[in-house]
A and B are shown apart, each in its own frame.
Chain A
Amino acid sequence: MRGLFVGVLLLAFWQGLVSLTGVPPFILPGPLAVLHALGDNTALLGLHAAYTSAEIILGLVLGAMFGIICAVGMCMSDFVTRSLRPLLSLSQAIPVFALAPLLTLWLGYGLASKIFVVVLIVFFPIASGFYDGLQATPEGTLDLARLAHARRWPTFVWLRLPYALPSLGAALRIAAVYAPIGAVTGEWVGSSHGLGYLMLLANGRMKTDLMFAAVCILTLLTIALRSVVGWGLRKLEM
């Protein structure tokens, strides 16, 4: 409730600033102008939001899958750990922003290059967060596995995994917030659809109100995604 109040206050301040100073709308449109732009362009915004949503969700799902498989593999085999560790650090060291143009060159202007950027961005936090969680099983608990002469797989399923679920949950929550950034980055570099594309287009044509409208939609998308992921994870006690 208090958050809503602060939000309304900020919007009123913004509108007041625009009205009082008379800033031209192509520099800073007021919230009312942005609202108008939202209303006038629902179909356009909806179409591009659908593209961006598809990129975000596919990228998040694929990135999470790769991240989880990678973490489980590292937990299961020392060989895999030794082989993948450097790769994992490398995947984080490469600036994805710099890689995006290459991805567009290789994978084209369509969904694939954006999905790839999202995958690159979410893969590392998920793989490393989950792996750290899997390594954090208390020694006392692992004693139970030693006493039972347990193999790796039952130890993983019954002891390590349950302990690591909250870490995986935290990583997925972070990934849900990172994923839209990845999608828009991909779109900025080269695309014909998506909210990032629309922002560049609107910016180039001095339609600043439309750009703000696109930012609003993107923000709402991110909040919605974060909430849905958070809700699902809470249901799973992660």
Chain B
Amino acid sequence: MDEAPAIGLRGSVSFGDNLLFRDMQLDLRPGWTCLLGASGVGKTTILRLLAGLPTGARFDGVVQRPQHLAYMAQDDLLQDRLSVLNNVLLGQRLSGTRPDVERATQLLQSVGLEGMEKRRPISLSGGQRQRVALARALMEDTKLALLDEPFSALDAATRQKMQELAYKCLEGRHVLLVTHDPVEALRLGAQVKLLEGGQVHDLPALGGVPPHAIDTPQFAKAYHATVSRLAGIK
């Protein structure tokens, strides 16, 4: 018998009279689940419902998630007046727990920002800023991580490095990555899903252990298949 998934969401979502999803179901397993879909199809709405954040939509259904979760958005949400270290400690400061400076320093080290604790975010590059955001997300010691296109504003080389770093750092967690980039989804996803027509569809993912190299024939084939599916060619 299948064990009931500990993390996921099922139900219907509507904006006003407009039904966005009817009886949709999204179950997360350990590893990365990548959710693809066109702009405005409701990817972010799904992620925010899972996160328990306001969406402006009406949701009838159940969400199963741990109380705390790691979260990264496209905007790094760094606070310009706080130092890098204080940005990483922000979650603990906000929740009123004792700030663990040692752990924050270690995490900054692990994302390659050793010695930058005192810097202001304004003095960092886009890639460095997302590294700080990753360290801040990692401060939440939880099994769920929700990523809302955190790499999409980065240049191609930085994006690839960030994907690999995030993959390494989030090892062993349930990760939901919302993205519009099929390459990203195929590289990282143990499960690849497509949000379309108010339903979640499974797309074939590459076998083996992510992050996958993108210069293999299998990748090219999978990429072609996924893009055709996205373009509506069945």
Contacts and interface: CB of A to CB of B under 8 A. Distances in A.
B79 interface: yes
B35 to A, nearest CB: 19
A151 B81 contact: no
B63 interface: no
Contacts of A143: 51, 53, 71, 73, 77
B154 interface: no
A165 B79 CA distance: 13
A142 B77 CA distance: 10
B93 A154 contact: yes
A112 to B, nearest CB: 38
Contact of A150 (B54, B73, B80, B95): B95
Interface string B62-91: 000001110101010101111000000011
Contacts of B94: 144-145, 148, 150, 154-155, 158-159
**B contact patch SS:** loop
Count class of interface residues, chain B? 20 to 34
Interface string B39-76: 00000000000011110000000000001110101010
A155 to B, nearest CB: 7
Given A147-B69, A149-B95, A237-B81, A158 B90 contact: yes
Contacts of B51: 143, 147
A159 B79 contact: yes
B87 to A, nearest CB: 10
Count class of interface residues, chain A? 10 to 19
Nearest to B69: A147
B53 A162 contact: no
A140 interface: yes
Interface in A149-193: 149-151, 154-155, 158-159, 162, 165
Q: Considering residues A147, A149, A155, A162, which has the most beta carbons from chain B within 10 angstroms of its beta carbon?
A: A147
A150 B68 CA distance: 12
A185 B148 CA distance: 57
A147 B79 contact: no
B53 A146 contact: yes
Contacts of B67: 149
Interface string A73-108: 000000000000000000000000000000000000
A140 B77 contact: yes
B96 interface: yes
A148 B95 contact: yes
A146 B90 CA distance: 12
A141 interface: yes
B91 A146 contact: no
Interface string A34-65: 00000000000000000000000000000000
A158 B77 contact: no
A144 B53 contact: no
Nearest to A141: B77
Interface of B: 51-54, 67-69, 71, 73, 75, 77, 79-82, 90-96
Given A141-B79, A143-B53, 8 more contacts: A147-B69, A147-B91, A150-B96, A154-B94, A154-B95, A162-B82, A165-B81, A237-B81
4 closest A-B pairs by CB: A148-B94, A150-B94, A148-B95, A162-B81
